[in-house]
Structure 1
Protein backbone atom coordinates (compact mmCIF):
# COMPACT_ATOMS: atom_id res chain seq x y z
CA UNK A 1 0.00 0.00 0.00
CA UNK A 2 1.23 3.49 -0.70
CA UNK A 3 1.42 6.02 2.10
CA UNK A 4 -1.92 7.67 2.78
CA UNK A 5 -0.39 11.13 2.70
CA UNK A 6 0.46 10.83 -0.96
CA UNK A 7 -1.74 13.05 -3.06
CA UNK A 8 -3.41 10.98 -5.73
CA UNK A 9 -4.71 14.02 -7.58
CA UNK A 10 -8.10 13.32 -9.03
CA UNK A 11 -8.20 9.82 -7.54
CA UNK A 12 -7.56 11.07 -4.05
CA UNK A 13 -11.02 9.96 -2.89
CA UNK A 14 -11.30 6.67 -4.73
CA UNK A 15 -11.04 4.84 -1.41
CA UNK A 16 -14.38 6.08 -0.20
CA UNK A 17 -16.11 4.83 -3.37
CA UNK A 18 -14.39 1.48 -3.59
CA UNK A 19 -17.55 -0.60 -3.89
CA UNK A 20 -19.18 1.81 -6.36
CA UNK A 21 -16.12 1.96 -8.60
CA UNK A 22 -15.93 -1.85 -8.60
CA UNK A 23 -19.53 -1.92 -9.79
CA UNK A 24 -18.68 0.44 -12.64
CA UNK A 25 -15.62 -1.66 -13.48
CA UNK A 26 -17.78 -4.77 -13.68
CA UNK A 27 -20.02 -3.00 -16.19
CA UNK A 28 -17.09 -1.77 -18.26
CA UNK A 29 -15.62 -5.27 -18.26
CA UNK A 30 -18.58 -6.34 -20.40
CA UNK A 31 -17.26 -4.19 -23.24
CA UNK A 32 -14.18 -4.62 -25.43
CA UNK A 33 -12.27 -1.86 -23.63
CA UNK A 34 -8.96 -2.73 -21.98
CA UNK A 35 -8.11 -1.39 -18.55
CA UNK A 36 -4.88 0.54 -18.11
CA UNK A 37 -3.64 2.85 -15.40
CA UNK A 38 -2.91 6.45 -16.33
CA UNK A 39 -2.55 9.47 -14.10
CA UNK A 40 -2.95 7.19 -11.10
CA UNK A 41 -6.37 5.83 -11.98
CA UNK A 42 -8.13 3.34 -14.24
CA UNK A 43 -8.43 4.43 -17.85
CA UNK A 44 -10.10 2.20 -20.43
CA UNK A 45 -8.72 2.19 -23.93
CA UNK A 46 -9.76 0.96 -27.34
CA UNK A 47 -6.73 0.27 -29.53
CA UNK A 48 -4.57 2.45 -27.26
CA UNK A 49 -7.00 5.38 -27.45
CA UNK A 50 -8.43 6.66 -24.16
CA UNK A 51 -12.19 6.14 -24.16
CA UNK A 52 -13.25 6.39 -20.53
CA UNK A 53 -11.74 6.84 -17.10
CA UNK A 54 -13.04 6.37 -13.58
CA UNK A 55 -12.47 8.71 -10.68
CA UNK A 56 -13.56 9.22 -7.11
CA UNK A 57 -14.04 12.73 -5.78
CA UNK A 58 -15.10 14.18 -2.48
CA UNK A 59 -18.82 14.39 -3.22
CA UNK A 60 -19.22 12.04 -6.14
CA UNK A 61 -17.57 9.41 -8.30
CA UNK A 62 -17.55 9.70 -12.05
CA UNK A 63 -16.99 8.18 -15.44
CA UNK A 64 -14.98 10.39 -17.75
CA UNK A 65 -15.67 10.15 -21.45
CA UNK A 66 -12.54 11.41 -23.16
CA UNK A 67 -14.44 12.29 -26.34
CA UNK A 68 -17.75 12.75 -24.57
CA UNK A 69 -18.58 15.80 -26.64
CA UNK A 70 -19.70 13.44 -29.44
CA UNK A 71 -22.14 11.45 -27.33
CA UNK A 72 -25.82 12.07 -28.03
CA UNK A 73 -26.47 12.25 -24.27
CA UNK A 74 -30.21 11.68 -24.61
CA UNK A 75 -30.50 11.09 -20.87
CA UNK A 76 -28.78 14.42 -20.14
CA UNK A 77 -26.21 12.85 -17.87
CA UNK A 78 -23.00 14.48 -19.04
CA UNK A 79 -21.37 17.64 -17.81
CA UNK A 80 -18.35 19.58 -18.90
CA UNK A 81 -16.39 20.02 -15.70
CA UNK A 82 -14.36 22.96 -17.00
CA UNK A 83 -16.26 24.91 -19.64
CA UNK A 84 -13.35 26.95 -20.94
CA UNK A 85 -10.65 24.33 -20.75
CA UNK A 86 -12.05 21.07 -21.96
CA UNK A 87 -13.41 20.76 -25.44
CA UNK A 88 -13.96 17.00 -25.60
CA UNK A 89 -14.01 15.61 -22.07
CA UNK A 90 -17.37 14.97 -20.41
CA UNK A 91 -18.20 13.58 -16.98
CA UNK A 92 -21.07 11.47 -15.74
CA UNK A 93 -21.30 11.92 -11.99
CA UNK A 94 -22.86 9.61 -9.44
CA UNK A 95 -23.47 10.37 -5.79
CA UNK A 96 -24.51 6.86 -4.76
CA UNK A 97 -24.58 3.22 -5.80
CA UNK A 98 -28.30 3.53 -6.46
CA UNK A 99 -27.60 5.89 -9.34
CA UNK A 100 -25.69 3.26 -11.26
CA UNK A 101 -27.92 2.08 -14.07
CA UNK A 102 -26.07 -0.63 -15.96
CA UNK A 103 -28.20 -0.50 -19.10
CA UNK A 104 -27.83 3.26 -19.50
CA UNK A 105 -24.13 3.24 -18.72
CA UNK A 106 -23.48 0.47 -21.25
CA UNK A 107 -25.39 2.41 -23.90
CA UNK A 108 -23.17 5.43 -23.38
CA UNK A 109 -19.97 3.39 -23.30
CA UNK A 110 -20.86 1.43 -26.44
CA UNK A 111 -21.64 4.69 -28.21
CA UNK A 112 -18.28 6.08 -27.06
CA UNK A 113 -16.49 2.98 -28.44
CA UNK A 114 -18.38 3.32 -31.72
CA UNK A 115 -17.32 6.98 -31.99
CA UNK A 116 -13.74 5.94 -31.35
CA UNK A 117 -13.96 3.37 -34.15
CA UNK A 118 -15.21 6.07 -36.48
CA UNK A 119 -12.29 8.24 -35.44
CA UNK A 120 -14.38 11.13 -34.16
CA UNK A 121 -12.06 13.63 -32.55
CA UNK A 122 -12.02 17.38 -32.24
CA UNK A 123 -9.45 18.74 -34.61
CA UNK A 124 -7.16 21.23 -32.88
CA UNK A 125 -8.05 24.72 -33.98
CA UNK A 126 -6.02 25.71 -36.98
CA UNK A 127 -3.13 27.90 -36.01
CA UNK A 128 -2.20 30.90 -38.08
CA UNK A 129 -0.01 29.89 -40.95
CA UNK A 130 3.52 31.21 -40.53
CA UNK A 131 5.68 32.03 -43.51
CA UNK A 132 9.40 32.54 -43.12
CA UNK A 133 10.75 34.44 -46.13
CA UNK A 134 14.30 33.91 -44.90
CA UNK A 135 13.95 30.17 -44.51
CA UNK A 136 12.24 29.97 -47.91
CA UNK A 137 15.22 31.78 -49.43
CA UNK A 138 17.57 29.21 -47.84
CA UNK A 139 15.47 26.38 -49.25
CA UNK A 140 15.63 27.85 -52.74
CA UNK A 141 19.44 27.90 -52.45
CA UNK A 142 19.53 24.43 -50.94
CA UNK A 143 17.01 21.94 -52.41
CA UNK A 144 18.15 19.23 -49.96
CA UNK A 145 16.98 21.48 -47.13
CA UNK A 146 13.57 21.91 -48.75
CA UNK A 147 13.22 18.14 -49.21
CA UNK A 148 14.23 17.52 -45.59
CA UNK A 149 11.79 20.16 -44.33
CA UNK A 150 8.91 18.57 -46.25
CA UNK A 151 9.50 15.30 -44.38
CA UNK A 152 8.43 16.84 -41.07
CA UNK A 153 4.82 16.74 -39.90
CA UNK A 154 2.96 20.04 -40.31
CA UNK A 155 3.15 20.46 -36.55
CA UNK A 156 6.94 20.17 -36.48
CA UNK A 157 7.26 22.45 -39.50
CA UNK A 158 5.16 24.94 -37.60
CA UNK A 159 7.48 24.71 -34.56
CA UNK A 160 10.50 25.59 -36.71
CA UNK A 161 8.71 28.47 -38.41
CA UNK A 162 7.40 29.81 -35.13
CA UNK A 163 10.88 29.61 -33.58
CA UNK A 164 12.41 31.58 -36.47
CA UNK A 165 9.65 34.12 -36.87
CA UNK A 166 9.18 34.98 -33.19
CA UNK A 167 12.61 36.63 -33.29
CA UNK A 168 12.20 40.40 -33.52
CA UNK A 169 15.34 41.22 -35.49
CA UNK A 170 16.42 39.88 -38.80
CA UNK A 171 19.89 38.99 -37.56
CA UNK A 172 18.35 36.91 -34.77
CA UNK A 173 16.13 35.20 -37.33
CA UNK A 174 19.18 34.44 -39.42
CA UNK A 175 21.10 33.03 -36.46
CA UNK A 176 18.11 30.86 -35.58
CA UNK A 177 17.98 29.62 -39.15
CA UNK A 178 21.70 28.76 -38.93
CA UNK A 179 20.89 26.79 -35.81
CA UNK A 180 17.97 24.81 -37.26
CA UNK A 181 19.39 23.98 -40.70
CA UNK A 182 21.58 21.12 -39.39
CA UNK A 183 18.60 19.84 -37.36
CA UNK A 184 16.31 19.89 -40.39
CA UNK A 185 18.90 18.11 -42.51
CA UNK A 186 19.37 15.51 -39.77
CA UNK A 187 15.57 15.08 -39.54
CA UNK A 188 15.55 16.18 -35.90
CA UNK A 189 12.47 18.13 -34.77
CA UNK A 190 12.99 21.35 -32.85
CA UNK A 191 11.63 19.94 -29.59
CA UNK A 192 12.41 16.26 -30.10
CA UNK A 193 14.86 16.16 -27.24
CA UNK A 194 12.10 17.21 -24.84
CA UNK A 195 9.53 14.76 -26.17
Structure 2
Protein backbone atom coordinates (compact mmCIF):
# COMPACT_ATOMS: atom_id res chain seq x y z
CA UNK A 1 0.00 0.00 0.00
CA UNK A 2 1.24 3.46 -0.91
CA UNK A 3 1.47 5.95 2.02
CA UNK A 4 0.33 8.77 -0.28
CA UNK A 5 -2.91 6.89 -0.85
CA UNK A 6 -3.26 6.35 2.91
CA UNK A 7 -2.96 10.11 3.42
CA UNK A 8 -5.41 10.84 0.59
CA UNK A 9 -8.06 8.48 1.94
CA UNK A 10 -7.64 9.69 5.52
CA UNK A 11 -8.61 13.19 4.36
CA UNK A 12 -11.53 12.02 2.25
CA UNK A 13 -14.79 13.21 3.80
CA UNK A 14 -17.14 11.33 1.48
CA UNK A 15 -17.02 7.83 -0.02
CA UNK A 16 -14.09 6.83 2.18
CA UNK A 17 -15.37 3.31 2.88
CA UNK A 18 -16.28 2.75 -0.76
CA UNK A 19 -12.89 3.93 -2.02
CA UNK A 20 -11.17 1.69 0.53
CA UNK A 21 -13.17 -1.25 -0.80
CA UNK A 22 -12.20 -0.45 -4.39
CA UNK A 23 -8.59 -0.06 -3.29
CA UNK A 24 -8.51 -3.54 -1.74
CA UNK A 25 -10.18 -5.02 -4.80
CA UNK A 26 -7.58 -3.52 -7.16
CA UNK A 27 -4.68 -4.62 -4.96
CA UNK A 28 -6.16 -8.12 -4.76
CA UNK A 29 -5.87 -8.26 -8.56
CA UNK A 30 -2.10 -7.85 -8.27
CA UNK A 31 -1.84 -4.20 -9.31
CA UNK A 32 0.73 -1.78 -7.93
CA UNK A 33 -0.58 1.22 -6.02
CA UNK A 34 0.63 4.68 -7.01
CA UNK A 35 -0.64 8.25 -6.64
CA UNK A 36 -1.04 10.26 -9.86
CA UNK A 37 -3.15 13.22 -10.94
CA UNK A 38 -4.10 13.73 -7.26
CA UNK A 39 -5.82 10.33 -7.10
CA UNK A 40 -4.95 6.72 -6.23
CA UNK A 41 -3.72 5.06 -9.41
CA UNK A 42 -3.19 1.33 -10.01
CA UNK A 43 -0.60 0.11 -12.47
CA UNK A 44 0.68 -3.04 -14.12
CA UNK A 45 4.38 -3.04 -14.99
CA UNK A 46 4.38 0.79 -14.76
CA UNK A 47 1.41 1.09 -17.12
CA UNK A 48 -1.71 2.81 -15.83
CA UNK A 49 -4.74 0.55 -15.46
CA UNK A 50 -7.23 2.31 -13.22
CA UNK A 51 -7.89 5.17 -10.81
CA UNK A 52 -10.44 5.61 -8.04
CA UNK A 53 -12.32 8.90 -7.69
CA UNK A 54 -14.83 10.42 -5.34
CA UNK A 55 -17.33 12.91 -6.72
CA UNK A 56 -20.26 14.77 -5.20
CA UNK A 57 -22.95 12.36 -6.38
CA UNK A 58 -20.96 9.14 -6.75
CA UNK A 59 -17.58 7.46 -6.48
CA UNK A 60 -16.01 5.67 -9.42
CA UNK A 61 -13.55 3.12 -10.66
CA UNK A 62 -12.00 4.66 -13.78
CA UNK A 63 -10.24 2.51 -16.37
CA UNK A 64 -7.60 4.60 -18.12
CA UNK A 65 -8.11 2.73 -21.40
CA UNK A 66 -11.63 1.55 -20.71
CA UNK A 67 -12.64 2.05 -24.34
CA UNK A 68 -10.68 -1.14 -25.10
CA UNK A 69 -12.87 -3.28 -22.82
CA UNK A 70 -15.72 -5.37 -24.19
CA UNK A 71 -18.11 -4.17 -21.44
CA UNK A 72 -20.40 -7.19 -21.74
CA UNK A 73 -22.42 -5.99 -18.73
CA UNK A 74 -22.91 -2.47 -20.11
CA UNK A 75 -21.66 -0.75 -16.96
CA UNK A 76 -18.89 1.46 -18.37
CA UNK A 77 -19.69 5.16 -18.63
CA UNK A 78 -18.06 7.71 -20.94
CA UNK A 79 -17.70 10.83 -18.76
CA UNK A 80 -18.11 13.36 -21.56
CA UNK A 81 -18.53 13.16 -25.31
CA UNK A 82 -14.93 14.32 -25.70
CA UNK A 83 -13.50 11.53 -23.53
CA UNK A 84 -11.97 8.95 -25.85
CA UNK A 85 -10.05 6.40 -23.77
CA UNK A 86 -11.21 6.50 -20.15
CA UNK A 87 -14.39 4.84 -18.88
CA UNK A 88 -15.99 4.85 -15.42
CA UNK A 89 -17.99 2.42 -13.35
CA UNK A 90 -20.01 4.47 -10.85
CA UNK A 91 -21.27 3.59 -7.38
CA UNK A 92 -23.55 5.33 -4.90
CA UNK A 93 -23.37 2.80 -2.07
CA UNK A 94 -21.06 0.10 -0.73
CA UNK A 95 -23.46 -2.74 -1.52
CA UNK A 96 -23.09 -2.04 -5.25
CA UNK A 97 -19.34 -2.65 -5.06
CA UNK A 98 -19.69 -5.80 -2.98
CA UNK A 99 -22.44 -7.20 -5.21
CA UNK A 100 -20.38 -6.64 -8.38
CA UNK A 101 -17.07 -7.78 -6.94
CA UNK A 102 -16.56 -10.70 -9.34
CA UNK A 103 -17.63 -8.58 -12.33
CA UNK A 104 -15.30 -5.74 -11.35
CA UNK A 105 -12.40 -8.16 -11.02
CA UNK A 106 -13.16 -9.55 -14.47
CA UNK A 107 -13.01 -6.02 -15.93
CA UNK A 108 -9.74 -5.33 -14.12
CA UNK A 109 -8.16 -8.54 -15.41
CA UNK A 110 -9.40 -7.72 -18.93
CA UNK A 111 -7.73 -4.29 -18.67
CA UNK A 112 -4.49 -5.94 -17.58
CA UNK A 113 -4.63 -8.35 -20.52
CA UNK A 114 -5.20 -5.43 -22.90
CA UNK A 115 -1.99 -3.84 -21.60
CA UNK A 116 -0.09 -7.11 -21.92
CA UNK A 117 -1.26 -7.37 -25.53
CA UNK A 118 -0.15 -3.81 -26.23
CA UNK A 119 -3.60 -2.68 -27.35
CA UNK A 120 -3.96 1.06 -27.97
CA UNK A 121 -6.93 3.39 -28.14
CA UNK A 122 -7.31 4.96 -31.57
CA UNK A 123 -7.40 8.62 -30.59
CA UNK A 124 -9.38 10.66 -33.07
CA UNK A 125 -8.99 14.36 -33.66
CA UNK A 126 -11.39 16.24 -31.43
CA UNK A 127 -13.67 18.27 -33.68
CA UNK A 128 -14.44 20.76 -30.93
CA UNK A 129 -10.85 21.34 -29.84
CA UNK A 130 -8.31 21.95 -32.58
CA UNK A 131 -4.93 21.74 -30.90
CA UNK A 132 -1.95 23.71 -32.07
CA UNK A 133 0.62 21.57 -33.88
CA UNK A 134 3.11 21.73 -31.00
CA UNK A 135 0.67 20.55 -28.34
CA UNK A 136 -0.67 17.71 -30.50
CA UNK A 137 2.88 16.52 -31.20
CA UNK A 138 3.71 16.48 -27.48
CA UNK A 139 0.49 14.62 -26.62
CA UNK A 140 1.28 12.01 -29.27
CA UNK A 141 4.68 11.37 -27.70
CA UNK A 142 3.53 11.44 -24.06
CA UNK A 143 0.75 8.93 -23.22
CA UNK A 144 0.66 10.01 -19.56
CA UNK A 145 0.08 13.63 -20.53
CA UNK A 146 -2.58 12.53 -23.05
CA UNK A 147 -4.38 10.55 -20.33
CA UNK A 148 -4.13 13.38 -17.80
CA UNK A 149 -5.43 15.93 -20.31
CA UNK A 150 -8.36 13.66 -21.19
CA UNK A 151 -9.24 13.39 -17.51
CA UNK A 152 -9.67 17.17 -17.19
CA UNK A 153 -13.08 18.79 -17.34
CA UNK A 154 -14.09 20.24 -20.72
CA UNK A 155 -13.66 23.77 -19.36
CA UNK A 156 -10.11 23.10 -18.22
CA UNK A 157 -9.23 21.51 -21.55
CA UNK A 158 -10.58 24.50 -23.44
CA UNK A 159 -8.67 26.97 -21.24
CA UNK A 160 -5.37 25.18 -21.82
CA UNK A 161 -6.00 24.84 -25.53
CA UNK A 162 -6.78 28.54 -25.93
CA UNK A 163 -3.73 29.53 -23.90
CA UNK A 164 -1.32 27.30 -25.83
CA UNK A 165 -2.78 28.19 -29.23
CA UNK A 166 -2.88 31.89 -28.41
CA UNK A 167 0.89 32.34 -28.65
CA UNK A 168 2.04 33.60 -32.05
CA UNK A 169 5.50 32.03 -32.07
CA UNK A 170 6.19 28.24 -31.93
CA UNK A 171 8.92 28.91 -29.36
CA UNK A 172 6.40 30.58 -27.06
CA UNK A 173 3.86 27.80 -27.56
CA UNK A 174 6.46 25.18 -26.63
CA UNK A 175 7.46 27.21 -23.57
CA UNK A 176 3.86 27.46 -22.37
CA UNK A 177 3.25 23.75 -22.88
CA UNK A 178 6.45 22.84 -21.04
CA UNK A 179 5.58 25.14 -18.15
CA UNK A 180 2.08 23.76 -17.65
CA UNK A 181 2.58 20.06 -18.46
CA UNK A 182 3.20 19.13 -14.82
CA UNK A 183 0.07 21.05 -13.80
CA UNK A 184 -1.93 18.96 -16.28
CA UNK A 185 -0.33 15.77 -14.94
CA UNK A 186 -1.40 16.86 -11.46
CA UNK A 187 -5.00 17.19 -12.62
CA UNK A 188 -5.03 20.97 -12.25
CA UNK A 189 -6.62 23.56 -14.51
CA UNK A 190 -4.84 26.58 -15.93
CA UNK A 191 -6.05 28.85 -13.12
CA UNK A 192 -6.40 26.28 -10.34
CA UNK A 193 -4.61 26.82 -7.05
CA UNK A 194 -1.50 24.66 -6.70
CA UNK A 195 -0.36 25.79 -3.25
CA UNK A 196 -3.57 25.09 -1.33
CA UNK A 197 -3.78 28.60 0.14
CA UNK A 198 -6.66 29.95 -1.92
CA UNK A 199 -9.94 30.75 -0.18
CA UNK A 200 -11.75 30.17 -3.46
CA UNK A 201 -10.64 26.63 -4.28
CA UNK A 202 -10.01 25.25 -6.79
CA UNK A 203 -9.35 28.67 -8.35
CA UNK A 204 -6.35 30.71 -7.27
CA UNK A 205 -7.17 34.01 -5.55
CA UNK A 206 -3.53 35.07 -5.17
CA UNK A 207 -3.29 34.29 -1.44
CA UNK A 208 0.23 32.90 -1.90
CA UNK A 209 1.48 36.34 -2.92
CA UNK A 210 1.03 37.61 0.61
CA UNK A 211 3.19 35.00 2.30
CA UNK A 212 6.26 36.31 4.06
CA UNK A 213 9.46 34.33 3.85
Normalising by structure 1, we get a TM-score of 0.58
Query: 1:120: how far off?
Result: 1.2
> Equivalent residue for 2:94?
97
How many residue pairs are counted as aligned between the two chains?
131
Which stretches of structure 1, 4 residues or more, deviate above 6 A after TM superposition? Answer: 190-193
1:136-190: CA deviation from partner (whole Å, max 9, x where unpaired): xxxxxxxxxxxxxxxxxxx58x9xxxxxxxxxxxxxxxxx9xxx9xxxxxxxxx7
Segments of 5+ residues of structure 2 without an aligned counterpart are: 1-7, 126-136, 141-168, 182-213
Secondary structure in 1 matching 2:50: strand
C-alpha distance 121-14 of structure 1, shift in aligned 2 (>3 A): farther
Deviation, 1:58, is 0.8
Q: In angstroms, what is the RMSD of aligned CA positions?
A: 3.3
Is this contact kept in 1: 2:68–2:121, CA < 8 A? no
Alignment of 1:121-136 (within 5 A): 121-125=120-124
Shift of the alpha carbon at 1:56? Answer: 0.6
TM-score (norm 2): 0.53
CA distance in 2, matches of 1:98, 1:123: 35
- Give the unaligned 5+ runs of structure 1: 1-7, 127-154, 159-175, 181-189
Check 1:48–1:96 CA distance in 2 against 1; reply closer, same or farther (3 A cut). same
Aligned to 2:75: 77
